[in-house]
Amino acid sequence: MSELTETPSRSEIERSVIEIVARSLERPVSAVHLNSRFWGDLDAESLDMLDIVYAIEKRFRIRMPRLNLLTRAIALFGEEKIVERGVVTETGLALMRLSMPEVPPDWITPGMRMYDFRRLISVESFVRVVERCIASVGNVRCDTCGGPTRMANPPEMALQCELCHRILDLPSGEQLLVDDLKRSAQQLNLAIIEASAPAEIDV
């Protein structure tokens, strides 16, 4: 696998994610495209997703979100707004379209059930999350002295303040989901019922 630069470009991220996906799913790199869907195009299973996320997190030293967008949206906006008898509401569909611009709009169709969400996830969905996780890592300041941070070693999956050397957690990818949803909610005039930060995903 090719080496990464310190702050990888979009194309480097794309190449690395495709390599990881291809290796995990035992496919040639040429058979994995940005618009390949994990379920449907690549025949992935749920265990593959854990494997791929693990490899991506180690490769880029980031923490990706674990909960899916709809589950998080239910916590933020209330279940009745997002799902009705297992079927995603119009509001839920609209939230998905706004929060997942990489998904072609005609994939998000009325009548979709909660557990169909995973069918929308493509390689590009992962690339987009990785890109934003990397950006959020770059923005972390020390919570004690306010100094800039860099990757720690050891421990590997952590940051270290360049000034006071305090070890800090990598930013949780869950916050990215919340930010996406809040931004989309503004456009849809959707009220937030859970103002608190997302529950920590501890492992």
Query: Which positions lie near another protein, rule CB under 8 A?
Result: 24-26, 45-48, 50-51, 53-54, 57-58, 63, 66, 71, 75, 79, 85-86, 115, 154-158, 167, 169, 199, 201-203
The distance of closest approach from Cβ of residue 90 to another protein in the complex, given in angstroms and rounded to an integer, is: 18
Residue (45 or 162) nearer to another protein, CB: 45
In whole angstroms, the minimum distance from the beta carbon of 145 to another protein comes to 19
Nearer to another protein, 47 or 195 (CB): 47
Q: Looking at beta carbons only, is 18 or 117 nearer to another protein?
A: 117
Structure tokens at 123: 């390689």
The CA distance from 68 to 53, in Å, is 13
The CB-of-43 to another protein minimum distance in angstroms stands at: 8
8 Å CB contact between 102 and 36: no
Helix (H) or strand (E) holding 181: helix 174-188
**Residue for token pair 């009745």:** 80
Query: What is the distance between the terminal CA atoms of the chain, rounded to a whole angstrom?
Result: 26
Q: Which is nearer to another protein, 90 or 169 (CB)?
A: 169
**Angle at which helices 69-77 and 90-99 cross, to 10°:** 120
